[in-house]
Every structure is written in C-alpha cells, then in structure tokens.
Amino acid sequence: MVLVGVSSAGVLLIALFAYLCSAFLLSQFDVRRRMLVGEGGLPLIFGLNLVSFLLVGAFGFWLTYMSGRDLYLYAALIALAAQAILLVRHLRVYHRDHLRVSYEN
C-alpha cells in the first residue's frame, strides 16, 4: 500500500515538474514574443521541450532510484507522456499565434 502511495506521489511530482520546467524555459527564452514577431519560435519550442524532457526524465530516474525499485522504464514513459501533453499544448498555442501574425501582416 505504501508503494502505491509513493508511486502515485512520484507520478504527480514528475508531471508537476514537467509543467514548471517547460513554463520556466519558455518564459526565459521569451518564446511568446518571438512567435508574435516571427523570429522562428517553432525550433525553439522543440528544443526547449527536449531539454525539459531530459530534466524531467532525470528527475524521474532519481525518484525511481531513491525508491529502490527497478521501474526506470515506467519513469521514462511517465516523463515522456507528461512532456508530450505539454508539447501538444505549446504547438497548439504556436499554431494559433502564428496564424494570427500571418493574418495581421
């Protein structure tokens, strides 16, 4: 029962860390402004999501190592799923704002 609680808390922490890491990186590199001025935000979005995935994966592996269980594949899948959801969200925002910039010009 304790293992299920620790695993559930770990999954929640990984998803929260993925969101915070992505939001921090996107704000640090000012991706929204770059999209609105047309400075090529798409490669930056993919690059930042890759960096965020690597950080989230390392955090997930650390949680797995600290728990003493051999669940590294599950940690990688959870990190990938959490980051994939955020990537789709960022691509949707890019598509919406990119079309707005093209329409206004």
Q: What is the pLDDT of residues 33-50, one digit of tens each?
A: 777 677 767 888 888 888
Q: What are the residue ranges spanned by the domains of the chain?
A: 2-104
Is residue 24 scored above 60 in pLDDT? yes
3-state secondary structure of 70: coil
Q: What is the pLDDT of residues 87-103, one digit of tens each?
A: 888 888 777 766 555 55
Distances (CA, A) of 58 to 38, 78, 97: 33, 12, 32
> Which comes out higher in pLDDT, residue 85 or 98?
85
3-state secondary structure of 63: helix
Task: Report, as an integer, the average pLDDT of 51-76.
Answer: 80
Residue 100: per-residue pLDDT: 58
> Which comes out higher in pLDDT, residue 2 or 28?
28
Helices (H) and strands (E) in the chain, counts: 4, 0
